[in-house]
Amino acid sequence: MKAHTKETQATMTPQKSLQFLKEGNQRFQNNLKANRNLLEQVNDTSEGQFPFATILSCIDSRVSAELVFDQGLGDIFSIRIAGNFVNEDILGSMEFASKLAGTKLIVVLGHTSCGAIKGACDHARLGNLTALINKIEPAVAAVKEPVDESLRNSGNLEFVDKVAKKNVEITIENIRARSRVLAEMEENGEIMIVGAMYDISSGAVEFY
C-alpha cells in the first residue's frame, strides 16, 4: 500500500475516510496488516504529507491509533493526550490538519479502563495532573447513574467506561463550540467529527 498523495487525498470524502478506518480496525482485530513498505513510505512522504484523518486519542500505551487502525506513514494525524480532551493548542492542531493539510475526518477516540478517566472518577490530585483531571471531571458529573457515591469511583469499571464515553461526547461538543473553523467545515460537509471507543480487551473500535 502506497502513502497518500495529493491526488489520492483529494478523492477522499469524510465517509470514505471513516470506512478506511473501520476496515483498518477490522484488519487489526484479525491480526492482518495491509501490505506496505514503510521505508518506501518514508521516501514517498519526504517532500509532503497528505493524511486523510485526524485522530485525538489517549496517551495509553495500548491505544496507538496507527496500529489499531492499521495505517502507515502519512495516513493520519495523531494527537495524543491523557483523557483525549481538547484545549486551545489541540484545537489549533486540528484546524491546521483539517483546513490547511486537508484531512476529511476528525475522530475523538476514547478507550475502556482509561487511567485518566479513573483518576477523574476518584478526583485524584497530584501536581500538574490535577489541572488535567479537572478538565475531565465534567464527564463524571454528567453521568448520573449510579447515584450511590460508593459506586462512582475507579473500582466500578462499568461506571468508568460510561464516563469515558461521555467524555468523548463532551469533547466533540467542545470542538464544535470552541472552533468556528471546524464547525463551519462540518456544516459545509467538508469534514465529519465522530466519536469512538476502543476496547482494550478485544481490539475493537466502536464508532458512534
Q: What is the DSSP string of 133-186?
A: HHHHHHHHHH------GGGSSTT-HHHHHHHHHHHHHHHHHHHHHH-HHHHHHH
Give every CB contact of residue 124 below 8 A, 6+ residues apart in sequence. 130, 133
Given the C-alpha cell 495524543, which residue does it identify? Answer: 80
Annotated binding residue 58: yes
User: Considering Cα of 154, then 157, then 161, then 162, what sign does the dihedral take?
Assistant: negative
60 belongs to an annotated ligand binding site: yes
Does 111 show up as a binding residue in the annotation? yes
Q: Which residue has the cell 469512538?
A: 196
**CA nearest neighbour of 183 among 98, 118, 119, 124:** 98
The three cell numbers of residue 156 are: 466500578
For the record, the C-alpha cell of 44 comes out as 514517498
Phi and psi of 54, rounded to 5°? -120, 125
Binding-site residues, in ranges, read 58, 60, 111, 114
Binding-site residues for Zn(2+), in ranges, read 58, 60, 111, 114
